[in-house]
Structure 1
């Protein structure tokens, strides 16, 4: 493993341990304890602490050591922080927070972009929307994702507000979660249309329509997250029930939906019984199943 790879791996492990609460706020660390915990050199431990200090996750105190800061002090807009939280038990809360942030920022950014975007920015926005349509309808999710990220980046930049522009990377990080939601119909066809409505309003010079269209787009995202959260609320009892049945093993970290009425279209559970097996393992991940005919994503 190269030095850069080792450094990145240790930083991710340490950041994840802090975000998850395994290393709670108020804990005091030393370089020696970090060397032992992560099996790294003193130099790697020191560099990781320097980065975490820049994120306001830790503070160095003379004679005391390295103290983990309260969560309220962390730089929550840093993309590494966002990634660690999305990969932790706080994933649902982080997705909710980021979606609420987007609802507060992006509709106004779209409004401002309508008033301030240059001809080149409007052309680039139209091209991004066309790419989303092209790659979305030909089932090329990663190219669609790249176009989606570019679409939102253009709008934030065209707003003419530097603080909005600075949010492009955090928003890109949450957009990268889309292909991993377990949806079999990603990208959702209706979502492509919502993006096109935003683009057409901006290019037509209608700021109120652009703001409304972006609000509709993001409200759709929030509704999808709420549906997933409603389903997740039923996981614990179902998991316990499945685990109590002799011969049934519930996959660690997996999710089981015990109420079919709360199962979002495109999500489901799978149970596999290998030929000749005497026990059942339930792989209760968000397994893709076709959405019902006529289903409209809201």
Structure 2
């Protein structure tokens, strides 16, 4: 039973009917294509609306969760109680000389395209990462020896009380899949990246090379959340999983990819429970064989059925 449905009317007045959905299936909003319904999903159009939504939820004691593109999110089959604030409509982007400022809902691919258009180098590594600016900054996303910390200059965030705060690079405390944003439960409204001028042909060549490598090595044809596990210190998660004989192991339609064992994929009709059960099998097996603890990179929210 959706105990928060009665609050939807006030949220519609605040955000407009088109930006409020009741009992919305989260499988529509995550790259894993699984997940039960959230009581209320809202998509604010401005910083002020985000601020208003957070204050409204806190005032009415409504649990809330803020998401970006859903590319690193696993929602359980029972769904999510309360409100999910999805930042997809914070999608403005601006370039001034060697700096690109992008709102939290802008996809990394758009930032990459903007950099290419302006002959700016330093963001090639992110061209194939499916996340948003907010999510990428929160977890200091990276690939192919590049990460957000190398190019970020500052960020505008909002805290749990609705205060706007500008954080410089040092204050962001960016480490391996961690940041002060994650530690303090901030929400990224906007980020400014600083690049260097580069050669257009070299930038395009690097992006094309990384795109080819991704297609060859990653199971991009199936729904997933990218790398399922963080890299344990001194090891590679994918190698530990492969050396444990887990490639191709499946629970229902959830499978450890035969192409890249660091990915758990949805081969069609997996439930969130299938993915979670498979994650546990991988963790237990790697622990037993190598005495290494694996930790998920993907964020898990919601309730079981």
> TM-score, normalised to structure 2's length?
0.27
- Higher strand proportion (structure 1 or 2): 2
- Higher helix proportion (structure 1 or 2): 1
User: Which structure's relative contact order is higher, taking Cα pairs within 8 Å and 6+ residues apart?
Assistant: 2
> TM-score, normalised to structure 1's length?
0.28
